[in-house]
Amino acid sequence: MEILPDFGTPLFAEKPRFFLSFSYTYSMETVEPATVSLLAGLFPLTLLEGNDLSQVAAQFEVLNYPRGSRLYAADDIPDYFYWIISGNVRLAGGAMRRGKAEQVLGAGDYFGAEVLSRSDYRFSDAVCLSEVKLVRVNEQDLIQLCANLPTIENAFSLIYQTHKFRARLFFPWLEKGEKVNLVCRRHPFFLALRVVLIGGAVIASFAGLLSLALSSKSVALILLAGTLLLIGTLLTAWSALEWGNDFFILTSDRVLVQKKLTGFFDNRQEAPYTAILSTGFETSFWGRLLRFGTINLRTYNGKLSFKRLPVPEIIFDLLEYQRRSIAQKKHQSDYAEMRETLQHRLEGATVRTKNAAAGKHTGGLKTTYKSGSFLDLAARFFGLRHESAGAIIYRTHWWRLLGKTFLPTLLLLIVVLLVLLKLAGFLPSIAADHLYIGSIILAVTSWAWWLYQYQDWYNDVYIITSEQLVDVNRKPLGKEERRSAPVQNIQTVEYKRKGIIGLILNFGTVHIQIGNQELSFDDVYNPAAVQAEIFSRFKHRDQKTLRLEQEKLVDWIKAYDEMKKEDKDPFDSQ
């Protein structure tokens, strides 16, 4: 298990690199000093007070690059850290792997975290996809900045930690274009506390038993002491692994907590930024002393708390920075699209922008079950997921079908076994007629029971459309219950896999909080993919709603423009 740099540990503390660094400044058009107002909107410089920011502003440069310029290449020696003011930069190739071969960054994003280590080389190529305006700071100035300002050093530790996690971990649930801005574990103090408490108790017990065994010369006590030491070692390792599998994640679209208790459960809880009403953080006395605390998010349905996070005030600032950035980008995009739409409507033409087809879901993670694994083959065989008329239909896992049909299947096997035994000359005390008639009755009853249970399993479906989520529970020859809720009202989405069977066979429950009610997709295969699909539908529905609101506003403006023209005609004729 990898433990990345702790907070308070100086960055740039690794071995020096005795090489020259080459940057692609040949494509720069202008270089100018950065202004305080410009830097004040960039994370983590948002953490600085006005006086501190004024003092360090001279260390930052503003540069303009034309489209196609290469800022650096994979395996180059890092020399600068960058922020994007405008335009887009693509990071591709190099050490980025497992589905992360390319990222497209935009205004407000930062990159170049390799400069925070003296041993790392550039992981990827950085190329300008358009005209780009950047702010950069060189390695030596960044070292000085972190040395003078511990808060900034802790923030860059978070950035470097996220950079390392992002290159190593695989997030299959990421939407196209969604970027990871923070990945962190709980504070390392709680790992040390677990190891010390569990390991200390085990060592003390082992030493006591071993001393007693040697004094009494008991082989049984020696074996007991060795067994206790083995179990304690495994328990300590398991506890450390559980700490290492819990992550708090901020992306460009949502907040997530991913937890895994090896052998017991696996779950991920998430909330889109649009569902967050307010944020905050709190710390205790020990939290302030050791630099850990709790991040609180309030949504329409209640409060989400993420506990024991390191440097909570910095994570909180990043969260607020991300929310402001999302709101600003959304406002700019909405304004540009509305201008384009209005211009075309006034000219009598139609326009189809990037959100015009948002109602028709084309993106998102697809649970196609095409990997060739046994679990995917079984899921495809039992039809656990299929699409119909744009809707995705899920059924409960085939393990639940086996549980429902176990008893009737067992009875059928008993009937077959009895008949075979009778035909082989066994069971002479039972009359053949009685046995065959009873077997026929029992077989028919068992088949009817089996078919009923199968139909009961088959009729219970969960449906995801572009507009709503539907839970259908229909009993054969009985009543049907149907619960639905609009996709646009989703507040949080969480999945859980419990128990060793659920973990091995990869099924669990997805909980969707919608206003004051909760829908649950119970025992679905690959719940992480189901959760991702729901979030993808929510995102596309949100885009469609925005597009409809824009169209409505444009219609009002167009009607107003037509009325003004009608009012002018009589005066023009005079």
| pLDDT tens, position by position, 60-84 | 999 999 999 999 998 899 999 999 9
pLDDT value at 6 more than 60: no
3-state SS, residue 94 = coil
Whole-angstrom Cα distance, residue 434 to residue 509? 48
| pLDDT tens, position by position, 350-408 | 544 444 444 444 444 444 566 567 888 888 888 898 888 778 999 999 999 999 999 99
pLDDT value at 20 more than 50: no
pLDDT value at 8 more than 50: no
DSSP code of 174?
P
350, 344 contact by CB (below 8 A): yes
497, 265 contact by CB (below 8 A): yes
CA count, 13 A, side-chain hemisphere, 247: 24
pLDDT recorded at residue 349 = 55
Name, of 110-114, 170-174, 328-332, 494-498, the range with top average pLDDT.
110-114
The mean per-residue pLDDT over the stretch 541-556 comes to: 73
195, 236 contact by CB (below 8 A): yes
Average pLDDT, the chain: 81
pLDDT recorded at residue 111 = 93
- For the ranges 90-94, 293-297, 550-554, which has the lowest average pLDDT? 550-554
pLDDT band at 161 (very low <50, low <70, confident <90, very high): very high
| pLDDT tens, position by position, 194-232 | 888 888 888 898 888 888 888 888 888 888 888 888 998
DSSP code of 285?
H
pLDDT band at 176 (very low <50, low <70, confident <90, very high): confident
pLDDT value at 480 more than 50: yes
pLDDT value at 118 more than 70: yes
Better-predicted residue by pLDDT, 102 or 300: 102
Burial degree of 157 (CB within 10 A; 0-12, 13-18, 19+): buried
pLDDT band at 302 (very low <50, low <70, confident <90, very high): low
